[in-house]
Structure 1
């Protein structure tokens, strides 16, 4: 009998040890808060202004994996020709959610009465693998090695008084080179930058994925350092929310944000942590964006998306001040009103904080 008792104790101990080892080898989920968010009693439609950009990953994954559906939310994607058309639609509530890219004209629209809120992160660079960074011409990669080597060179940037211009100036400051010591080349089309590189018309360019990787594969250019060397917290894009969505449809908005963050966490798991179902997430991204080559998704520097939703608030303000110093903005903005992380905070109370 004693032998039997000893065997039972040993058997239970072995099971416990195996369970612990299994737990340690699996990725840890976000801690549960003990709260649950029930589905809406009636289906609710949320209109998202999205044009198939890679930074919309959270929207696409939440839709295709049923995270919106779980909360009884139906999403509809709407496209606009430009931000001049899109921003008023968000402010009026015709569109509930959209993406905004930092620029002087963007901030001027808000200053002129277009009421939108910044409610979550929609794009920043990941350290060491920025999706929006400088490249150097292939034949100059052994000549332009250090940042100080850019002196006297022709550098293409896609916009003036936009986030591109801001990153360009941050790079110059990091290099210790003045604007008078380089030639700024305004080139609005990223594809044209590739051609200009091939024709040796420019020396460097602030380029974007997947063109960065495609240009490397074609022997046109190489990455030049990384944007996080000098602009580690550059907030490139934000999720915008309609004031009506945040107030009159708050119950829908909180559920929307919870679903969005769940999707962003799947994306972050795959592309940053190297865990999760890579094939599924890449398939979703290829389906919704212009980058259809699934193999290339394994090579590109992907858009950074914060799995906890927060934006780099101080950098947003820093960009605004940069545009003001350039004379591109005259009005004052109240960022305490414009930046609203309350939806993110409420969603995290439900789904827990994502741990790196």
Structure 2
């Protein structure tokens, strides 16, 4: 009798364990018999919070080249004044997809119950041609040549306790210079940094494209090294997804991600590999972003976007730890829950891995 009861208990436990595992598994989009993703039976709208930033390239290209339409997806771009308005809309499912930039306030919002997922890459620096890196005043370029030369200099950074601040500290650490040995100048407007350079109010700045290229062309500043020298895997922006989008609309979400990655691959072909239709992709980027000068798209360092979609997960956690050390975050976060690459993985099963 004991043996029978024991066997029954083991069987019950096995069933409970199997049921639990099945519940934890995310639903998968149904594929056609040939393994491809067929178009959705009816047109589905996906709302993207995007403000015309260059890092939205995957969205713009996928839209204009018909990759979303191929899956019967209609995209709508929504603009928000700031992330404080955007994040609750994503968490509530009013917005399906958005872009998020790493900051302490961003992580604090998540810690306080704003439920969003990091689902794909939306911005990192390309080695040797960073789109977000330091510049030095033109008249100081012979004086400030090496990283240790920043000691005692006035350095403009656009935000405190955000990815800019993180990169700034990474540069100082690489230089062997203490933060106490430089003057941190908080300057939220990148255009104001150029004016401050012209007026010799600052010596260096953590600047962004296309202002880096514009400042070089005007003789205001010059690139100072490259951000990948000291922060080679800095995750600057992520694609955010609504939990409802990832679960309740899984068939739509996987197709959306496949189309997004196809758009990024066209972008990567042109800007990283020098292949593809450069004129077409630059025209799309000029149409959707504030940078209308097509010649500058050829000159400028462009946003890095991973054609296989994944983010630098370890760096995201390092940034979070940095903000905690700065006293800007008190809460603990479960990154196993927040970072969800399952859409990317499922999409790549269909479209294949991009080969460099």
Please tell me whether residue 51 in structure 1 is matched to residue 48 in structure 2: no
For 2:52 and 2:154, the matched residues in 1 are separated by 31
Aligned partners of 1:176 and 1:197: how far apart in 2?
A: 25
SS at match of 2:160: coil
After the TM superposition, which segments of 4 or more aligned residues of structure 1 sit over 2 Å from their partners?
A: none
Deviation digits for residues 10-38 of structure 1 (CA, Å, limit 9, x no counterpart): xxxxxxxxxxxxxxxxxxxxxxx962110
Question: Could you say which residue in structure 2 is the equivalent of 1:212?
Answer: 212
Alpha-carbon separation, structure 2, partners of 1:150 and 1:99: 33
The secondary structure found in structure 2 opposite 1:155 is strand
Provide the aligned length of Structure 1 versus Structure 2.
324
* Partner residue in 1 for 2:153: 153
RMSD, aligned CA: 0.8
User: Shift of residue 331 of structure 1?
Assistant: 0.2
What is the Cα deviation at residue 45 of structure 1? 0.1
CA distance in 2, matches of 1:145, 1:88: 45
For 2:104 and 2:295, how far apart are their aligned partners in 1? 37
Cα distance in 2, alignment partners of residues 233 and 296 from structure 1: 25
- The residue correspondences of 1:54-69 to structure 2 (distance < 5 A) are 54-69=54-69
* Deviation (angstroms), 1:94: 0.2
In the alignment, the residues of structure 2 paired with residue 35 and residue 299 of structure 1 have an alpha-carbon distance, to the nearest angstrom, of 40
Does structure 1 residue 298 correspond to structure 2 residue 298? yes
Residue number in structure 2 paired with 1:116: 116
Once residues 206 and 180 of structure 2 are traced to their aligned partners in structure 1, the CA distance between those partners, rounded to angstroms, is 18
1: distance between equivalents of 2:261 and 2:180? 44
Query: 1:62, 1:101 → 2: CA distance?
Result: 22
User: What does the per-residue CA deviation read over 1:84-114, in whole Å, with 9 as the maximum and x for residues that have no partner?
Assistant: 0000000000000000000000000000000
Partner Cα distance (1:238, 1:129) in 2: 20
TM-score by length of 1: 0.91
1:184 aligned to 2:165?
Answer: no
Find the aligned partners of 2:315 and 2:176 in 1 and give their Cα distance.
21
1:89-128 superposed matches below 5 A: 89-128=89-128
The SS at the match of 1:253 is helix
> What do residues 164-199 of structure 1 show as CA deviations (whole Å, max 9, x unaligned)?
000000000000000111000000000000000000
**Which structure 1 segments of 5+ residues have no match?**
1-32
Q: Distance in 2 between matches of 1:296 and 1:232?
A: 24
Q: Secondary structure at the match of 1:290?
A: coil
Which residue does the alignment assign to 2:313? 313
Give the equivalent residue in structure 1 for 2:10: none
1:314 & 1:93 partners in 2: Cα distance? Answer: 27
1:287-340 Cα distance to aligned partner (Å, 9 max, x none): 000000011100000000000000000000000000000000000000000000
| Equivalent position of 1:344 in the other structure | 344
Q: TM-score, normalised by structure 2?
A: 0.91
SS in 1 for 2:340: coil
Number of the residue aligned with 1:29 = none
Counterpart position of 2:3: none
CA distance in 1, matches of 2:141, 2:323: 32
Q: Which residue in 2 is equivalent to 1:259? A: 259
Q: Match for residue 38 of structure 2?
A: 38
Partner of residue 278, structure 2: 278
Structure 2 residues not aligned, in runs of 5+: 1-32
Q: How does 1:183-202 map to 2 (within 5 A)?
A: 183-202=183-202
Cross-structure match for 2:75: 75
After superposition, give the CA deviation of every residue in 1:201-244 in whole Å (9 maximum; x if it has no partner). Answer: 00000000000000000000000000000000000000000000
